[in-house]
Structure formats: C-alpha cells, structure tokens
Amino acid sequence: MLVVLGLLTSFLSFLYVTAPSIRKFFAGGVCRTDVQLSGKVVVITGANTGIGKETARELARRGARVYIACRDVLKGESAASEIRADTKNSQVLVRKLDLSDTKSIRAFAEGFLAEEKQLHILINNAGVMLCPYSKTADGFETHLAVNHLGHFLLTHLLLGRLKESAPARVVNLSSVAHHAGKIRFHDLQGEKYYNRSFAYCHSKLANVLFTRELAKRLKGTGVTTYAVHPGIVRSELVRHSFLLCLLWRLFSPFLKTTWEGAQTSLHCALAEGLEPLSGKYFSDCKKTWVSPRARNNKTAERLWNVSCELLGIQWE
C-alpha cells in the first residue's frame, strides 16, 4: 500500500510540475475573428454561469444586445451585472427560461418576440449532466427534456425571427460524449433502462443529429447552424456526480477554463465563411469527426419527427 501511495504521489507531482505544458496542449483553439456586433441581437441559454457566461461576456464586449435566458434569474442578474461592468455594455438583459418546462419556453419566446424585432444569433448552451432519474412536468426524462427537446422547441419558436434577421446562426452545444450515445426510439424516456451517464451521451447525440437535420431544412434561408464540443471544462455541469466533482477538482489544472471552453461557440457564432459548413460539428474552433450514428440521416429525420410529436408541434 505504501508503494502504491508513493507511486501515486510521484505521478501527481509529475502532473502538477508539467501542468503548464499539458494545459497549453489541451487549451484548444481560439476564436480569432474581430467581427463586431453593434446592432445585433443574441440569445444564449444558461448564460448565468460557466461557458455560457463567458460567451455572453465576449459577445457583449463586441457590442451585441445579449439576452441571458436562464432558470435562476437571480444568478442571471448577478452575471449580467458583472458583464455590464466588465464590457461597459448596458444591453445585457436577463429573462426567465426553464428548459425543463415547455410552458416556460413558450412564455420566454412570446415575451422575446414581443420585445425584439430581430435575432441574429441563438446559442443553445444550457444543459444538465448525470442527473438521477426524474421526469419533467411534461413527462420527459430530464436529460432528453433539457438538453434536446427544450432547445428544439425554443429554436422552433424563434426561427421565424432568425429568418427575418438573416444572415443568422444557431449554435448547439453538444459534446464528444455523443460518440457513446444512441437514440433508443423504443425507450427515449429511459423507462425500461436508465443509466445517467448514457442518458447524457444520448442527449448529446440528439444535439448533433438535430443540428444536421436543421441545416438540411434551412438551406436557402440565410440561417445556418453548427454543433459544438467545448472541450473538458471546469464548470458546474458535473455537480450531480460526487466522483466527477472530485476528479474535476483533482485534475483542474489540466481542464479548460470557461473562457477556453467558450471559444468554439464564439467561433461558430462569429467566424466569417462558415456558411458552407452548416450542420457540421466543431471542436477547438475547427470542423471535426462525428460518430457514425451522428451521420445517420434517417435517424436524424426520425428524431426530428418524434420530437415534434412529443412537443405537439408541426415543423416542416
């Protein structure tokens, strides 16, 4: 046992000594565009903390009118106040949005559409991870509801405004975890079998498939869409897992900061010339490989139709 502890201590010491070099390697790409956003309107879900907050900060710094759409309005107002002070942009607003509740999503969209005549960038950033099994008020499994169906419905409700404001973009945050995901049409709600790790992976695959199908349906509209893997980031996303919280704390010197994690979202929202890559999946500010399941057009179309049925909407 003493030998094992000694080896572990030596290994961790080595990691921490080499941390700067390792951090530089894993930091990933940086959004290089200098595009300014004066007069542009942006909605970011879950921007009261983490990656979303840093994304909102940078877009506000570039002059955009930014809506922080989040469940916890108090945290949202705190984040907005910090961003306004940091960027000297007073146009950072907070609106209530609970992605686990379709009534809240519809209320947010109704309020936003009454308030704003334009929408240039929608960033579907919010998400949950490793939640114990539960269902939302609408009867949906929580990962499916928040990570996929909520953003699916939100995008549907705001799409008319995006088209009117074209060129416009939709950025969907997914994850490299989609490689372990599968769309289990026979058990989408996890009622027959539930594993919270796989539930997250399934929902992240749904994000990639949604992006793929949305891009196909948006051809010629001036609205483009991109899926994003932000990297392994020090954030609150792992709060439902004690083990991951422990690992995140232990290996925090090697994880991306929230600023670094926001870079690919910013790249897909802002970089010039990305229109031909609509529907693609990005990591470290460049297009990258997706799993074979994420390239299945029949699954993407079926998921689209099933999502519409579950939400009670028609979206051709």
Summarize the confidence of residues 47-63 as an average pLDDT. 97
Task: Count Cα neighbours of 56 within 13 Å in the Cβ-side half-sphere.
Answer: 36
The pLDDT of residue 12 is 41
- Return the pLDDT at 232: 79
Taken as a whole, the chain contains a residue count of 316
200 classed as catalytic: yes
Domain 35-311 homologous superfamily, CATH: NAD(P)-binding Rossmann-like Domain (3.40.50.720)
Strand intervals (E) in 195-266: 223-229
CA-closest candidate to residue 154, choices 245, 55, 247, 67: 67
pTM of the model: 0.88
Please tell me the predicted confidence (pLDDT) of residue 45: 98
List the catalytic residue out of 193, 194, 200, 281: 200
Handedness of CA 71, 72, 77, 80 (dihedral sign): negative
Give the pLDDT score at 197: 92
Q: Are strands 41-45 and 92-96 parallel, antiparallel or unpaired?
A: unpaired
List strand residue ranges (DSSP E) for 52-167, in order.
65-70, 92-96, 121-124
Q: What is the pLDDT of residues 222-273, one digit of tens each?
A: 999 999 999 876 555 545 454 554 554 554 556 789 999 999 999 999 999 9
| Distance from C-alpha of 78 to C-alpha of 66, rounded to nearest angstrom | 14
What is the model's pLDDT at position 255?
76
Other beta carbons within 10 angstroms of residue 63's beta carbon come to 16
